[in-house]
Chain A
Amino acid sequence: MSPTADILFWMVMAVTIASAALVVVAKKILHAAFALSICFLGVAAIYVFLHADFIAAVQLIVYVGGIIVLIMFAVMFSSHTQEAGGEGGRKVLALGAGAATAAMLFTAIMLIISRLQQPLHEANAFATQAYQHTAGITGQDLAAETPRLGLGHILMGEYMLPFEVASILVLAALVGAVVIVRKETRG
């Protein structure tokens, strides 16, 4: 990557992590929702850095365009209930338990990653090689070779059944969501 892309990558990573931290620590739940949308934008940018442009577009449409709107709706709907400040002891306990569990799991993940040292080097060498392989190709060729086409073929071929099952699942989930909300308003 060029030096500009390097700087951009670090900026995206910093913004993503900072906004994710804000999601966790924000006092008002609405601020957390806004921070979450910034975090989703950052993850979409990370997908672009990973050469997964279609996933990045889906991330933008589904998360930033859909899930954030749903979350905002739920927050607005119940916004007059402030984050209850009472029972300070339990709050500290919850924060401590959360921090301890998160730190433990993060340590475990970093331990596993550090065990991966050899495969990591091989993977990076492989990716660099693949990148250099595409270095001489013009933009038009790259557009023709981009993974989007292969993704469509794979989704309509090898992963046809999971794809259809997922569509039925989404339909069932949406119908179920409507039923859950309606049940209380009827009586």
Chain B
Amino acid sequence: MDAFANLPVLADSLLGGGPDNLFNYLLLAGILFALGVFAMISRRNAVGILMGVELILNASGINFVAFSRFNGHHLEGQVFALFIIVLAAAEAAVALALVLAVFQTHRSIELDQVDEMKL
């Protein structure tokens, strides 16, 4: 845990040069990721779970772009962020179609009421 203990020191030393540093972007992405996981697990509404997935995908996109920028302005990270956005769009379209299909059969999108396949 000693590495974890010097986190405030690390943040302080990095913040000396203004907020535009890698640590801040990684921190933001970490917070978005944790909130997305929280939403995915605690929400029962299917659309709420989808929102959690979108938060996680956004966090990964920020990470890709941040690492590519702080690694000598290579563009590969931005390309990957683009692909993430494309995949998120495709995933959202399919997931919302599934939500509508579930709603048509169950008149509800609370996922704990959709348990026919549970043993």
Contact = CB atoms under 8 A, between A and B. Distances in A.
A40 B57 CA distance: 11
Interface in A66-91: 66-67, 70-71, 73-75, 77-78, 81, 83-84, 90
A183 B101 CA distance: 8
A52 B32 CA distance: 19
Contacts of B31: 17, 20, 106
A58 B81 CA distance: 10
Given A13-B28, A52-B69, A98-B39, A105 B34 contact: yes
Given A23-B35, A62-B85, A113-B23, A151 B75 contact: yes
B14 A58 contact: no
B82 to A, nearest CB: 6
A52 B33 CA distance: 20
Contact of A114 (B7, B18, B82): B7
Contacts of B82: 55, 58, 151, 155
Interface residues of A, number: 90
Interface string B35-48: 11111111111011
Nearest to A153: B75
Contacts of B76: 154
Contacts of B98: 180
Interface of A: 1, 5-6, 9-10, 13, 16-17, 20-21, 23-24, 29, 32-33, 36, 39-40, 43, 46-47, 49-52, 54-55, 58-59, 62-63, 66-67, 70-71, 73-75, 77-78, 81, 83-84, 90, 94-95, 97-99, 101-103, 105-107, 109-111, 113-115, 117, 120-121, 123-124, 126-128, 130, 147, 150-151, 154-155, 159, 162, 166, 169-170, 173-174, 176-178, 180-181, 183-185
